[in-house]
């Protein structure tokens, strides 16, 4: 789901051909890098995003939601417990971070856009968490979500209950469709990368009448400066965002000024892959 969204970020806008800057290859690879190779990205001077689009409010909300989810994921990854990892019916891994990320994104979008009809197509549902053997996991997710909301300080709300968390997770079970607006979320694109301490992303997009109109990728382990330098002292956390006809931008999760990026004129595929 997220790989498709990633590849669409730079295509929401007309492509301007420029000569790419020379980039240092990253040591680690992931599905995210292969979807959006760093050799396809060129830095331009910092710019403020256009305020003319009708999707401005949604984009601000999406960036806030993905950034808060990234904060939760960073904290979990630092002290990941074996009990935090489970298997779905298809044997694919799911973690408390997957659930917690989905809860936070859904929570923030609904808080930031109260006048908008809410529809979310997301990865997880609450089925497994409602089982008796999952009660400790549900309690941990609930605590992690509440701690993240409290640390942000934006929302003056009572702590979420376990029942609240289950309900919010299931807000992501919309079937979407070609009518109206629908959010599409992969709470962690690259769960195996997350488990390795490697790269992963929170991927969020908005469809309007069946068309992608904005997208956000929060990459908690990707330093902004790593796109241009091999410096090991850069704080990790990078946010990509784009909206229709308004350009594609990157910034740090700390909120550095947005920098515009675009597809380069590289035509040799081997030069566009990070090994």
Token look-up 């850069």 returns: 234
Q: Is 69 exposed, middle or buried (0-12, 13-18, 19+ CB in 10 A)?
A: buried
Distance (Å, rounded) from C-alpha 206 to C-alpha 183?
5
Distance (Å, rounded) from C-alpha 20 to C-alpha 117?
41
**Three-class secondary structure of residue 108 per DSSP:** helix
Number of Cβ within a 10 Å radius of residue 48: 8
Question: Is position 48 annotated in a ligand binding site?
Answer: no
Q: What share of the chain is helix, strand, coil (3-state, %, to 5)?
A: 40, 20, 40
Number of Cβ within a 10 Å radius of residue 164: 17
Which residues are registered as beta bridge partners of 88? none
Question: Is position 186 annotated in a ligand binding site?
Answer: yes
Active site residues: 98, 191
Tokens found for residue 83:
């009990």
- Where are any strands of DSSP class E within the chain? 85-87, 93-95, 120-122, 181-189, 201-208, 211-223, 236-243, 248-252, 259-261
**Angle subtended at Cα 110 by Cα 247 and Cα 186, rounded to the nearest 5 degrees:** 60
User: Can you say which residues are annotated as belonging to the binding site for Mg(2+)?
Assistant: 123, 186, 188-189
User: Can you say which residues are annotated as belonging to the binding site?
Assistant: 123, 186, 188-189
């Amino acid at each position: 789901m997220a790989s498709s969204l990633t590849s669409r970020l730079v295509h929401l806008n007309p492509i301007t051909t420029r000569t790419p800057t020379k980039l240092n290859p990253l040591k680690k690879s992931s599905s995210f890098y292969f979807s959006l190779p760093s050799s396809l990205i060129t830095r331009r001077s910092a710019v403020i995003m256009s305020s003319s689009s009708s999707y401005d409010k949604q984009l601000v909300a999406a960036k806030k939601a993905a950034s808060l989810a990234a904060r939760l994921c960073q904290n979990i990854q630092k002290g990941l417990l074996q009990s935090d990892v489970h298997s779905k019916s298809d044997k694919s891994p799911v973690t408390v971070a997957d659930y917690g990320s989905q809860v936070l994104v859904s929570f923030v979008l609904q808080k930031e856009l109260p006048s908008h009809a809410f529809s979310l197509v997301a990865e997880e549902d609450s089925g497994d968490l409602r089982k008796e053997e999952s009660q400790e996991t549900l309690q941990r997710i609930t605590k992690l979500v509440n701690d993240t909301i409290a640390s942000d300080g934006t929302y003056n709300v009572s702590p979420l209950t376990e029942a609240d968390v289950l309900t919010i997770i299931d807000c992501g079970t919309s079937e979407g469709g070609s009518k109206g607006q629908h959010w599409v979320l992969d709470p962690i694109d690259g769960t195996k990368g997350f488990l390795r301490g490697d790269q992963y992303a929170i991927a969020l997009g908005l469809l309007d009448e069946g068309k992608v109109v904005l997208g956000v990728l929060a990459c908690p382990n990707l330093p902004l400066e790593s796109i241009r330098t091999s410096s090991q002292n850069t704080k990790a956390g990078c946010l990509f965002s784009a909206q229709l006809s308004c350009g594609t931008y990157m910034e740090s999760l700390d909120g550095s000024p947005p920098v515009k990026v675009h597809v380069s004129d590289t035509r040799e595929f081997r030069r566009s892959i990070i090994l």
